[in-house]
Amino acid sequence: MEEQQGRLPDFLIIGAQKSATTWLARLLRQHPGVYMPERELHFFNYPGSLAQYQAAFRAARPDQLIGEKTPDYLHLTERQIARIKEWMPSVRLIVVLRDPVARSWSQARMEVAAVNRRPLAWRDRFWLAWHVHLLRNRLRSDYRRALQRWQQFFPRQQFLVLFYEDLYRDPVSFMHRVFDFLGLSALPAQTLHALAKRRVWESPAADMPAWLRYALTRRYCAQTQWLKQQGYQVPASWPNASLVQQLRREERGLSLKAGVLTGMLTVLSLPEHLLVYMGRWFPALRLYRLYDRLQHWRMHREEHERPSTR
């Protein structure tokens, strides 16, 4: 009986990673009518009981909406999404999508800088390009398959799909759409403008090589096209056929260079692809996070091998 009395979220922010979801969650926590845990729970990435999940929201007042933000949820498997449907059939789902080329590069910069624990440098270009080809990165930019999985379980009216680029263009209108979707009164415009200036988890700066920009733009053109076919107002800066042609004209031999390097990096990333697939289908093994532990091992090894400067 105690399990039945606990509350569950009224809304979830399910993604995408590196698309201002942390900023959005922080802003929503400013609203007196919203309760959200401070950290990402990642509850549905792994097995867990209903009572364990309800325990995360015990501090919510009866008059507050409960929300949770975990960007990894966008790329859950069908089995994991089915559990959300079983427990929260009426939950509202907020998705913020970002240009997949920019999102992939931002994730790579964040992860390489986190592993190295220093500013990015020229010598990191290989690791950055490799990270973009890892399956953990590619899955998070595959919006089409992710939304198709979710829409098998939830009707479209339970989704609010927003674009990261619209947030930068007009943060007040962006947030008003969120408040309207959740049935909340809007925060004062002055508060919204002040919060819009705060960056959260900004990735370190690094220029993307032309060949990689070309390869990613070609890869993600289909994402833009599919979203447009679904009726979404995709920002003009997203990958498209005209941009591919423009990039090709800017550098001779770019297509060949991109094909060779992309093929090489894809082969080198295949062991990670296998780990991610196994981790997705056998979440109890937690293989999906094994890559992080391997990266920390590489970092510590390099620190011990580095000559002392004393």
Average pLDDT, the chain: 87
Structure tokens at 106: 């931002």
CA angle 99, 74, 286 (to 5 degrees): 120
pLDDT at 308 over 50: no
* List of residues 6+ apart from 288 with CB closer than 8 A: 45, 136, 275, 276, 279, 280
Say what percent of the chain tops pLDDT 90.
68
pLDDT band at 232 (very low <50, low <70, confident <90, very high): very high
The sheet that has 92-97: what strands, in order across it? Answer: 34-35, 65-69, 11-15, 92-97, 159-163
Q: What is the pLDDT of residues 165-196, one digit of tens each?
A: 999 888 889 999 999 999 999 888 778 777 77
Q: What is the pLDDT of residues 50-91, one digit of tens each?
A: 999 999 999 999 999 999 999 999 999 999 999 999 999 999
**239 falls within a domain:** yes
DSSP-derived secondary structure for 37-103: -SS---GGGS---HHHHHHTTTT--TTSEEEEE-GGGGG--HHHHHHHHHH-TT-EEEEEE--HHHH
Alpha carbon distance 203, 184 (integer Å): 31
**262 falls within a domain:** yes
pLDDT at 264 over 70: yes
pLDDT band at 294 (very low <50, low <70, confident <90, very high): low
pLDDT at 239 over 50: yes
**310 falls within a domain:** no
Phi, psi of 53 (to 5 degrees): -70, -45
At 58 the pLDDT is 95
Number of domains in the chain: 1
Structural domain for 105, as ranges: 2-305
Whether residue 214 contacts residue 239, with contact meaning beta carbons closer than 8 Å, is answered with no
Cut 0.75: pTM above it: yes
Nearest CA-CA partner of 54 in 64, 66, 70, 39? 66
At 289 the pLDDT is 57
**15 falls within a domain:** yes
Specify the CATH number for the domain of residue 94: 3.40.50.300
**257 falls within a domain:** yes
The burial class, CB within 10 Å (0-12 / 13-18 / 19+), for 134 is buried
Residue 275 pairs in a beta bridge with none
Nearest CA-CA partner of 283 in 18, 35, 47? 47
At 174 the pLDDT is 92
Nearest CA-CA partner of 15 in 173, 195, 140? 140
Instruction: Look up residue 123 and give its amino acid.
Output: R
pLDDT at 1 over 50: no
Rg (C-alpha) for the chain, rounded Å, is 21
